[in-house]
Structure formats: C-alpha cells, structure tokens
Amino acid sequence: MRGMCVALGVLVACLCCPGSSTAQQDLDALLEQSFKQAAALLNPSIVQIQTVGGLDRVAGVVTGTGPTTGVVVSEDGFIVSSAFNFAAKPASILVNLPDGRRLPARLVANDHAAKITLLKVEAENLIPAKAAPREAFRVGQWSLALGRTYTNAFPSVSVGIISALDRAWGRAVQTDAKVSPVNYGGPLATIEGKVYGILVPLSPRGQTETAGVEWYDSGIGFAIPLVDIYRVLDRLKQGENLKPGLLGINFEGRDQFGPATIGMVRPTSPAAEAGLKKGDRITMIDNAPIARKSHVRYALGRKYAGDMIRLQARRSDQEISVQLKLTDKLLDYQSPYLGLLPEREETAEAPVAEGVVVRYVFPESPAAQAGLMKRDRITAIAGKPVTDSAALMRAMVGMAPDDKVSLSFVRQGQVQPLELTLGALPDRIPGELPTVSIPPVDRADAKAADPKIGRFTVELPAHQHSYWAYVPPDYNPNFQYGLMVWLHPTGDTMEAAIMRLWKSVCERRNLMIIAPKAGNPRGWNPAESVFVKAAVEDFVKQYPIDRSRIFAHGYATGGAFALSLLFKERELFAGAAVASATLRTAPPPNTPDYRIQLHFNSGSADADHARVARTVEGLRKMKYPVSFGIAKDRSKKYPSQEDVREIGRWADSLDRI
Amino acid sequence: MNTVRNHSCGSRRRWLVVLVALAACGPTTQAALAASPAIESALPRIVKIFGAGGIRNLYSYSTGFLVSAEGHVATVWSHVLDADSVAVVLNDGRRFEATVLGAEPQLDLAVIKLQTDAKDFPFFDLKQAVEVGPGTRILGFSNMFKVATGDEPVSVLHGVVAARTKLTTRRGAFETAYQGTVYVVDAITNNPGAGGGIVTTRTGQLVGMIGKELQNAQSNTWINYAIPIDELQETVGEIITGRFKRREDKPQPESTIANYRPLDFGLVMVPDVLFRTPAFIDSVVGSSDAHKAGLRANDLVMFANDELVQSCRSLKRELGRLEAGDTLRLIVRRDNQLVSVELEVPRKLKP
C-alpha cells in the first residue's frame, strides 16, 4: 500500500506540469505501476477453480473444461464465482488457493438472478476481497478484469474503464476490459485493488448461465457488484438459492416509456394479494419515484423473491400504498380465446368501418356457442371500443379463460350485445380451414428494381451469411402474407425438399418463405440468432408481411434452433412449428406480453419421439398453446405432404382470436 | 484539475480525487502523444508481406519486422511464405522481393531476406528486447486484415499484458507447433495477417512476435498472444549467419497403444458412458496394490501424476503414458477430503 501511495504522490506531481512529454511518460509509468499494484493487492483473494466431469454442452454452447476463477468472500473459506463456470454441472469442484493449497469445494448456493455461485472450502485465515462502495462507481474509471486461469503464479490482467452503471436493470456494471471464460468468476477491480464486482457473461435478453458468452473479449463485459453480493451473502451461506423477485403484474401496452399502468394483475400473485387492480398507475417503489414502466424494472432489478417492498399507486383520484413480499413463481398465464378468425383486409383500402369483421367462427368455440357468425363486426369488448383486430387482442390482454365478457357487434346494420365465457387457445388443428383468396397480380412486365419473385438467394454482407427465399410470383402487395422462417438441420439446407412440399401450401395459405443458412456446416450457433433476425427484418421491409403471422419452422437440430430463437425473439416471432425437435433449455414462462403459439410434429417410430412428447407435455403444463401432430410409424424424417398441409393450416390460423 | 495543482500531500481521499480525474480521462489524447515517439520509431522497422494464399479463405498476407541493417525480416512461419518469393512492402512504400532464408516450424518462426544490397535498413536489435509481466501496457503492430493498403503504415493497437504463460500448461488445450512461453495480451492482436507483427512496451521496447491465430480448445475462445523475443533470438541469429540446423523433429505423436490400464493397478472404474464420465472407482481388486494403498470404491480420481483427471478417458490417457518403474501418484476425493496415494508401476509384458 505504501508503494502505491508514493507512486500516487509522484503522479500528482506530474499532473501539475502537463505539456512536457517526459512528465507524460512518467505518468504512464505510474499508471502502469498502479495496474500491477492493484492486481498484487487483490492477488491473495483470487483463486483458481477446477472442475471434473459434467455436460459437454449447455444450451447448445460447447462448455470449456479449463480452469476458472473465483473470489474469496470470507476468512473461513466462502468463495464466489460466476454460475457460468458450473453450468456443466460438474461432478466435483477443486479450489487452488494462491498459496498453493489445493482443496475440494462444495457448491453452497446459487443466486439465479445475478448468475453467481457460492462455494465453500475448509480453510481458515483467507483474505476476503474488499468491495468498492456503490457510491464510488463512475463511468470512465479504470477497471481491471482479473482471472486466475493461465497460471497460479499471478492473476491475468486486462485493463479497461467502467463503460456504464446499472446495466441489466441495475444488476451489473459494464466494462470495456476483456472479459471471457479466462476471467469469468474473477474480480473487476478498481485501480486501488478493491472490487467493483464479479465478472459474469450477461445478455440483456438471455436467461441461461451461458447467455452473453458470444460477447467475450468484445469490449462489452459485465460484473455483478460485490457490494450487492455481500448484502445477500448470509442468505447464500445458509444454502438459500436466490431467485428474481416477482410482483405479478403486466403493464398496459408494450411501450417501455409509457406510464406504469397495470394492465393485468396475475391471480394469487403478491400484487393480487395486496389488492392492486388493473388500471392502477404505480408511482413509487420503496423510495424510487416511478414515472414509466422501465422504472419499475429498475426498482425490482436488484430485489429477490422474499424481499419486502413498499409500493404506491394512483387509482383514479386516490393514492394507495401497499407493502408486499415478492415471490419467485407466478401461476402460469394462459391466453384467452374467442374462437374466430378476423377478416384480412386489403391494406391499400381505407377500412370500411371500425371494428373486427369475423371471417370464420371455429365450430364449438366460445364464439360459436354464443352465436357469433361470419361477417359479424365486433365493435366493443368489455365496454371498450375496438377499432381493429390488434386492438381487440390488446383489450383481451389481462383476460383469462373462463372469464365472462360482454361484446358489442354489428349484424345487418344493428348493434347487438353478447355475453360469452372465454376459452383457451385450443391445442388441436382443425382438419379444414377456409382460405383467403387474394387476387393475383400479373408480373409479366416486372422491372429489375422491383422486389424479386420466385425462388432467389440474398447475401447479407454485414453478417457474412446468406438466405434463400420464396415469394409467390403473383403475390399482391396490397394484401398481407404470413412468413415462414425455415431453419435447416445440420449439414443439409433441404432447399429442394422444402420447395417441393411447401410451394402449393404457400400459394393456398398466402405464405412466403425465407431460409437463412447456417455459417458452419456443423450446425447453428446460438449467436446466429442475430443474423436470422436481421434477415427477417431485411425481408419484411420489402414484402407485405403480417407481423402477427411470422413463424419459425425447423426440423431436427434446425427445430431446436427454431425453438430457442422463438423464445429469445418473442417480439419478432408469433410461433414455431418444429419437427423431430425438442427444447434444449427451459423456456421463459408464458406471459400476456407476447402471444406465442407452438406446433410439434414427430413420427411415432422416431427414436426421439418420447422426448418430443415430453417437451409438448412440459410446454402445455406451462399453459403454452401447443398442437402436436403424430405421424404413425414414421421414423426420423421430415414431415410428409399431409403433415405439411397441417402445419400450413396452423400457420394460417396464427391470427386467431 | 485545479484540485490537483494544490497538492499538499494530504488524505487518502485526495488521491481518490486524482484517480477519478485520471480515470475520467481514460486513454486520452495525451496518452497517445506520449506513446507516439515509440510508434514513430517502431513503424519503419515493420513490413507488410504478400505471398501465397488467396483461395479457400486462406489469406495471402502477413507481417514481419526487420532484424538487420541488411534487410533480414523475421516473421511467422505460415502458408503465406509457401512461394518461390514473396513481396515485402516497407513503411516508406519501397517494395522488395524476398526469399525464405530459413524457418523453424517449432517456433512458428521464419527469416526472409530482402533481395537488395542496401545495408541501411532501420531494424530491431533483438538483444534489446525486454521481459515484462502482467499489467504492463503494450502496443501491438500488425498488417491485420490488410487494413493498411499501398504504402500505408500497419495498424497499432494498445492493451496490457494479461499473463506470461505456457501454451502447454493444459495438455491438449492448443493445437500448435509452438509449445513454449507466450505473452497473452488483452488487445485483439491475433487476426488474419497479424502473425509476424510485434508487441512492444508503450515506450517502444520490443517484447514479442505476434503468433498465428489460435483457439483455446478448453474454453472455445480465441487467444491473443505473442512469442517472447528471447525465445526466438538465438534461432534468428543462427539463420542469418547460416549456422542454423533444424532441431529434432517434433516428438512422434503419442503411441496409441496404452502401456497401462486401470486394472493393472487393481482399479475397476465405473463404466465410461459419457464424453465426460467422472473417474469414479467402481471397485478395487482385493490384494492389489491399489487395495493395499487404501483406495476404495466410490473414490473419485482427481489427479494422476499432477495432471487433472477430468474423466475416465483422461485417466486412461495418463495411465497409457506410464513406463515400467515409474511411480503413479493419484489424488482421490473421498467425501470432502483429498487423499494422496503412490503406486509403483508394475513390470509387465507389452502386447
């Protein structure tokens, strides 16, 4: 410490005489000295961790087997590390202390919100790392990412600055020091040798332990503040697994910047028990004023299940204040269902009248039982006027199966009221489904500048990838089409087979296809979701696509990728139809914020059939609407023409209400 | 900055203020100015090399650095040099043909000679190279991605030394001919065409030669590293003076015949069903050496002769290497204890 003080003294002296290059040189030298001293100061608190056995793939990412890093947090042998280092569920964990001792370690508990794991070794007189106080965090400060994977002699060092505070809803700080499996679990240190936080892979979107690994060494790295970990250390020490704290509300509308008005209170949730109601506008959580939805996420970002919060809200003219205890689990949400298909109108024409014109009523559905008919025009639900089908869907967010609602509809010029009991999205695909006939457009005199038609290939240079696409040659730009995103299995784009089976279905069901190609013949890499998304956005800009009918379709490994893509990009995809594919990671809970629909197809003689069936069962238990087509006696093969027609009917009813 | 000028040595808090001020600057224009004499002196000694490649994703360019006044250039040994002669472009735009004078694949090193009689090239004196430790600020110079076109100078990166380590500390982690010490750096130095570039300290002292692109098979991440000059210096000198003889060829790949198996010590391991089946002992043969040494069923073998045993397979690999007369040191985990035993490797007839 003394050395550092002296160094800093000289450093200050240097700052007094800027302009001279020798002074700058000295300053650089002193700065370098400070990096080394900070690492040396923290050295005794940084341990190397080795693991034995375990999975070789986690969430599709090949896991490393090299040593990893941990940080001592108590004299008696508690050590924290990144949960990434234990994602492979190792059979045994060893800790190498800087003094050369090698000790077996026990996994004590996980913080699932921060992706931190607590270990324990039997040792005494260890030197715990000192946490830098949160008030001292500033963007622009030097930060050192330290690891202990190369040698046990001295920590590895990468230098950067703090790039941002309060990332991931307040849970992490961001740095441009190089963060990778080489130092995950290690400390992000201040230039004084205190610890900002523990380095972890993190993705604002992903939920698994490996999410964010694709950003390794990119200059985008994250650390979980050590002060926050110390705050919950006693709970972790007692073996309590910490989970994110949930309130049990969904907001009205998706705009993050909008006011925090409750759109739905989930049954039996803490919010429901505290008496919060739809329409309440949250104004304060603990001492943080809430002006918009994102503020609520920040206020809850560092809270855990079991934490108490005080919440204030405005209900018409009245200010209400409640105290509630956050939970780790909500009852699964199930989307409500009327049982109709809305008319798909010509986009160029102004709508004839406000409301949703019924194109088709599903037999035996709530709508059919209540006597709703084709060509009826729904104008209001639960007293709220409805302008179009998107508005009707929005109004139904927050309603649940078995809820009773009132509708107003117009039949032959007469406004009529209707009471009905909502159902749940059915998990069967009807054998017949009417089609929408779109007047074809003759393109005999198409110009080069017109959007391409038929089957063609597009290069996306920014992503070093390409995709092929199929656009019906006579498509009508005044009508909207569904979009199938075909994700091929490992090593085979199946272009010819897909065209053979899907061309007629595309024409009948008004679909277009785009088919991104994996960059590597060994199969899809989770990071390629970025490219697939870019390909879809590129396509949607040029063709009339109905965003509520974009779905991912894949077979075998392509199907598994389609599922992971769907749950990662719920803004983009309305559903996925997969064949011979299973889920590799637990999906997020079903939420009213996104309406997801799924279809599975499998042959009963397929070796994976039982696993597919289990995936379907699991998703249904989570209240996702899942239909399941079983091809009798089929082994591992792409679906037959008949099954493809069924998938076509599923895709053509993605806009069912 | 006024708070700084008034610098009566005071409380620790004052240092903090200074540090924050410093930190806020980050790598500023001032820092860049301080390094510029180092960069100005290094750039004329670095060359761009254009040779074979250009098909099937093989790039046809790399980097080199002058090591003599007569135009000897040290560079990385790669497919780019796989041509009768290669083109070398100096920092000032002069272009020379060059031929390979000698190469040491085990060091990933080659020396090429410019086809000229000139004797006034600026060069790096390899004897002046320095050894540095983690945290040392460095500059990286290379023709990465061929960003520098025509007579443009090569690209300069900055970072720190992350570690000085051996690429082979973890067996099988890297597929590389070079097996010695490297500097791992936190700048993204190792890109296509960067091999043969250099890493210097921020004051311009030579530290190492940037190596080929290399992926760490254990973490599936790309690594950025340079080979220390002290590892190369002797060989470069020998190639230039013509005294160079290639070292023994690489050791033959390990024999696929396993010399010993767990059963030779009286150990029956659990069935090896997974890619990473942990090396649990299923049972111990009565009266065997393992039995006498106190090993038991359900012990988990963690180390064999100080190598981490990650699976049944890696235990078999370790035992396969043993020779009669060796000692086998095993560390096993039993409940929450590590137990160490030594076993004599028995004599036996090889198959």
Q: Mind listing the pLDDT tens digit for each residue in A488-544?
A: 998 888 999 999 999 999 999 999 999 999 887 778 887 788 889 999 999 999 999
Residue B17: is its pLDDT beyond 60? Answer: no
**Percent of chain B scoring above 70 in pLDDT:** 80
**Percent of chain A scoring above 70 in pLDDT:** 93
Residue B240: is its pLDDT beyond 60? Answer: yes
In chain B, the residue whose alpha carbon lies closest to the alpha carbon of A62 is: B220
Strand partners, A224: A198
Domain annotation covers residue B11: no
Both B306 and B232 in a single domain? no
Both B189 and B64 in a single domain? yes
**What interhelical angle do A2-15 and A21-42 show, nearest 10?**
160
Please report the pLDDT score of residue B14 as a whole number: 38
Residue B243: is its pLDDT beyond 90? Answer: no
Task: Quote the domain boundaries for residue B104.
Answer: 41-241
Residue B142: is its pLDDT beyond 60? Answer: yes
Q: What sign for the dihedral angle of Cα B250, B253, B255, B261? A: positive
Interface check B37 vs A, CB under 8 A: yes
Interface check B20 vs A, CB under 8 A: yes
Residues of B within 8 A of A65 (CB-CB) are 218, 276, 310
Pairwise CA distance, residues A38 & B216, whole Å? 27
Look at A66 and B216 and tell me if their CB atoms are within 8 Å: yes
CB < 8 Å & 24+ apart, contacts of A368-373? A368/A339, A369/A420, A370/A407, A370/A418, A370/A419, A370/A420, A371/A418, A372/A338, A372/A340, A372/A407, A372/A409, A372/A418, A372/A420, A373/A411
- The C-alpha of A455 sits at a distance from chain B's nearest C-alpha, in angstroms, of 27
* Helices within A263-388 (DSSP H only): 270-273, 293-301, 366-369
pLDDT: which is higher, A487 or A445: A487
CA dist list (Å): A101 to A322, B15, B333 = 52, 36, 15
| Fold agreement (A249-325, A338-424) | yes
The model's pLDDT over B184-238, given as tens digits with 9 standing for 90+, comes to 999 999 888 999 999 999 999 999 999 988 887 666 778 899 999 999 999 999 9
Question: Which among A18, A150, A217 has the least Cβ separation from residue B188?
Answer: A217
Pairwise CA distance, residues A79 & A84, whole Å? 15
- Between A257-271, A339-353, B285-299, the lowest mean confidence (pLDDT) is in A339-353
Phi, psi of A225, deg, nearest 5: -50, 130
Confidence class of residue B116 from pLDDT cuts 50, 70 and 90?
Answer: very high
Pairwise CA distance, residues A74 & A125, whole Å? 9
Both B192 and B273 in a single domain? no
Please report the pLDDT score of residue A351 as a whole number: 63
Please report the pLDDT score of residue B20 as a whole number: 41
Look at A157 and B173 and tell me if their CB atoms are within 8 Å: no
Residue (of B189, B237, B181) closest to B212 by Cα position: B189
In chain B, the residue whose alpha carbon lies closest to the alpha carbon of A104 is: B336
Please report the pLDDT score of residue A206 as a whole number: 59
CA dist list (Å): A274 to A249, A311, A591 = 12, 10, 21
Please report the pLDDT score of residue B29 as a whole number: 43
Pairwise CA distance, residues A292 & A253, whole Å? 12
Please report the pLDDT score of residue A483 as a whole number: 97
Q: What sign for the dihedral angle of Cα A226, A232, A236, A237? A: positive
Please report the pLDDT score of residue A10 as a whole number: 44
Which of A37, A48, A65 to probe the B interface (max B CBs under 10 A)? A65
Q: Which of residues 214 through 273 in chain B touch A, CB cutoff 8 A?
A: 216, 218-222, 224
Both B232 and B105 in a single domain? yes
A43-237 under CATH 1.20.1560.10, yes or no: no
Residue A330: is its pLDDT beyond 80? Answer: yes
The model's pLDDT over A118-160, given as tens digits with 9 standing for 90+, comes to 999 999 999 999 999 999 899 999 999 999 988 777 899 999 9
Look at A16 and B5 and tell me if their CB atoms are within 8 Å: yes
Residue B167: is its pLDDT beyond 80? Answer: no
Question: Which among A11, A54, A155 has the least Cβ separation from residue B276?
Answer: A54
Please report the pLDDT score of residue B348 as a whole number: 66
The answer to whether A330 and A248 are in contact (CB under 8 A) is yes
The model's pLDDT over A184-196, given as tens digits with 9 standing for 90+, comes to 999 999 999 999 9
Both B203 and B304 in a single domain? no
Confidence class of residue B350 from pLDDT cuts 50, 70 and 90?
Answer: very low
Please report the pLDDT score of residue B248 as a whole number: 56
A338-424 under CATH 2.30.42.10, yes or no: yes
**Percent of chain A scoring above 90 in pLDDT:** 61
Residue B27: is its pLDDT beyond 50? Answer: no
Q: What amino acid occupies position A137?
A: F
Both B143 and B236 in a single domain? yes
pLDDT: which is higher, A530 or A463: A530
The burial of B24, by beta-carbon neighbours within 10 Å (0-12 exposed, 13-18 middle, 19 or more buried), is given as middle
Domain annotation covers residue B272: yes
Residue A332: is its pLDDT beyond 60? Answer: yes
Residues of B within 8 A of A182 (CB-CB) are 162, 219, 221
CA dist list (Å): A157 to A36, A39, A178, A188 = 8, 7, 9, 10
Look at A155 and B134 and tell me if their CB atoms are within 8 Å: yes
CATH of the domain at B333: 2.30.42.10
Look at B135 and A157 and tell me if their CB atoms are within 8 Å: yes
Both B231 and B271 in a single domain? no
The answer to whether B239 and B102 are in contact (CB under 8 A) is yes
- The C-alpha of A98 sits at a distance from chain B's nearest C-alpha, in angstroms, of 15
Q: Which of residues 197 through 216 in chain B touch A, CB cutoff 8 A?
A: 202-203, 216
Both B79 and B145 in a single domain? yes
Both B187 and B102 in a single domain? yes
Q: What amino acid occupies position B280?
A: F
DSSP state of A59: T
Please report the pLDDT score of residue A132 as a whole number: 97
Please state the CATH superfamily assignment of the domain spanning residues A454-652 in this structure.
Alpha/Beta hydrolase fold, catalytic domain (3.40.50.1820)
Greatest mean pLDDT among A199-208, A454-463, B282-291 lies in B282-291
User: Average pLDDT for residues A463-487, to the nearest whole number?
Assistant: 91
Per domain, the residue ranges of chain A are: 2-40, 43-237, 249-325, 338-424, 454-652
- Between A389-398, A445-454, A614-623, the lowest mean confidence (pLDDT) is in A445-454
Structurally, how many domains does chain B consist of? 2
The model's pLDDT over A399-444, given as tens digits with 9 standing for 90+, comes to 888 889 999 999 998 999 999 999 999 988 988 899 988 888 887 7
Instruction: Give me the architecture of the A249-325 domain, per CATH.
Output: Roll (2.30)
Confidence class of residue B175 from pLDDT cuts 50, 70 and 90?
Answer: low
The model's pLDDT over A282-323, given as tens digits with 9 standing for 90+, comes to 999 999 999 999 999 999 999 999 999 999 999 989 999 999
pLDDT: which is higher, A436 or B253: A436
User: Average pLDDT for residues A70-80, to the nearest whole number?
Assistant: 97
CA dist list (Å): B262 to A451, B319, B345 = 67, 7, 11
Q: Is the ipTM of this complex over 0.85?
A: no
Please report the pLDDT score of residue A16 as a whole number: 44
Confidence class of residue B11 from pLDDT cuts 50, 70 and 90?
Answer: very low
Pairwise CA distance, residues A186 & A39, whole Å? 11
Both B216 and B336 in a single domain? no
Residues of B within 8 A of A16 (CB-CB) are 4-5, 7
Confidence class of residue A613 from pLDDT cuts 50, 70 and 90?
Answer: very high
Pairwise CA distance, residues A8 & A193, whole Å? 14
